[in-house]
Structure formats: C-alpha cells, structure tokens
C-alpha cells in the first residue's frame, strides 16, 4: 500500500493505493495518528485502492472518531 498525504491548513488529504488489509492497516494507523492533531477535515481518496478489508475499515473509522473528538 502507498500512502500520499497533503496538508492544506487544517485539511488532511490522504490518497491510498494498493491494498488496505490486516497487513497494511497498522501502517495507515500510525501515519494518521501522527497527522491528526489540529485537523478539522479529513479527505480520503480511494480511487487507486484495490482492496479494503474490515481491518482497514476499522482504522478509517477510528481515525474519523479521533478527528471529531480533537476538533471539538
């Protein structure tokens, strides 16, 4: 999996390519945790994502929950 991040003010754009699964989800989780402070908007681009497992989905949902709680 490849992760490309672009920070534009308080908006984090994340483009994922490849497979987001049990093997790669910890990598995405670590990347998102390091960037979520001060983020009010999280934009995800999945156009080049080939596969998304439930493990990957859990990471995405947890990141959104953290972002919402920190934005308050």
pLDDT at 36: 82
Q: Within its chain, how far is the Cα of 39 from the centroid? A: 12
pLDDT at 17: 98
Host H or E run for residue 21: none
Strands 11-20 and 41-52: parallel
This prediction's pTM: 0.86
Q: How far apart are CA 36 and CA 12, in angstroms?
A: 8
Question: Residue ranges of the chain with pLDDT lower than 70?
Answer: 71-72
């Amino acid at each position: 999996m490849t992760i490309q991040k672009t920070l534009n003010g308080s908006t984090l754009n994340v483009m994922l390519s490849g497979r987001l699964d049990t093997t790669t989800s910890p990598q995405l989780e670590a990347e998102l945790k390091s960037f979520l402070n001060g983020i009010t908007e999280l934009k995800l681009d999945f156009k080049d994502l080939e596969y998304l497992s439930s493990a990957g989905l859990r990471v995405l949902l947890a990141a959104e929950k953290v972002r919402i709680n920190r934005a308050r």
